Amino acid sequence: MRVEAVSPEQVRARLVARVGELPAVRPRVLIDGWGVTDPAALATDLISPLRAAGRPAVLVRADDFLRPASVRWEFGRDDPDALLDLALDSGALIREVLDPWEAGADYLPALWDAAQDRSARRRREPVPDDGVLLLAGELLLGRWLPVDLSVHLALRPDMLARRLPAGQQWLLPADARYREEADPESAADVVVRVDHAERPGWVTER
């Protein structure tokens, strides 16, 4: 494994180039990383350059496909196993977003408002011609989500521990299990090390 020091701008440019190389007509790109790495921010930063390249891009947040609180928190709000096993409605993501996007059918941009713990009350929207789906969130790899490119924002365990607030240290056991079971740095098509966000590392020759 070799880690090449790059700038955030180079990360964006390389990801846009990788999307352009995908054979899919309407590619689905997964951006995985803990909240402290802000995968949705990276996805948002890709929208303008993708559109400039003639590829209308849409961001879907995995947090908008969480299960109701009664399911997510059945074993408490800080249970790492429940976070991995119960929180995300992967089936709904596939059914309402990923499969329709591939088929060019209408997709649902959000299913559940986790903050209000109620339906997001969103209407289905048409998939744009030559559109690119950017699906961003936590713990997304190893769930058999059908995507055309997967990106993992990698943090060393010690760096994750330093960046998590005191009240979120319970996420560390979830991270350890995620590494063991999903092995995100091997599973992802692209790995970007973000131990230092302003000085990311592009992982090659994995």
Are 191 and 31 spatial neighbours (Cβ–Cβ below 8 Å)?
A: no
The C-alpha atoms of residue 133 and residue 131 are separated, in whole angstroms, by: 7
| 77: Cβ contacts below 8 Å, ≥ 6 apart | none
- pLDDT above 90: residue 197: no
- pLDDT above 90: residue 204: no
b or e along 78-98 (b: 16 or more beta carbons within 10 Å of the residue's beta carbon)?
A: ebbebbbebbbbbebbbebbb
The C-alpha atoms of residue 132 and residue 123 are separated, in whole angstroms, by: 19
Find the angle CA(32)-CA(5)-CA(60) to the nearest 5 degrees. 20
Please spell the DSSP secondary structure of 10-56, one letter per residue.
HHHHHHHHHHHH---SS-EEEEE--GGG-HHHHHHHHHHHHHHTT--
- pLDDT above 80: residue 78: yes
The C-alpha atoms of residue 27 and residue 146 are separated, in whole angstroms, by: 10
Residue 148, pLDDT score: 98
Segment 45-77, tens digit of pLDDT: 999 999 999 999 999 999 999 999 999 998 889
Q: Confidence class of residue 1 from pLDDT cuts 50, 70 and 90?
A: confident
Looking only at the bridges linking them, the beta strands covering 118-119 and 112-113 are antiparallel
Q: What's the chain's average pLDDT? A: 96
- pTM higher than 0.85 for the full model? yes
Segment 107-134, tens digit of pLDDT: 999 999 999 999 999 999 999 999 999 9
Token readout for 141 is: 């790899």
Q: Confidence class of residue 166 from pLDDT cuts 50, 70 and 90?
A: very high
Residue 49, pLDDT score: 97
Residue 27, pLDDT score: 98
Alpha helix stretches (DSSP H) within 53-170: 69-72, 80-85, 90-93, 99-103, 157-163
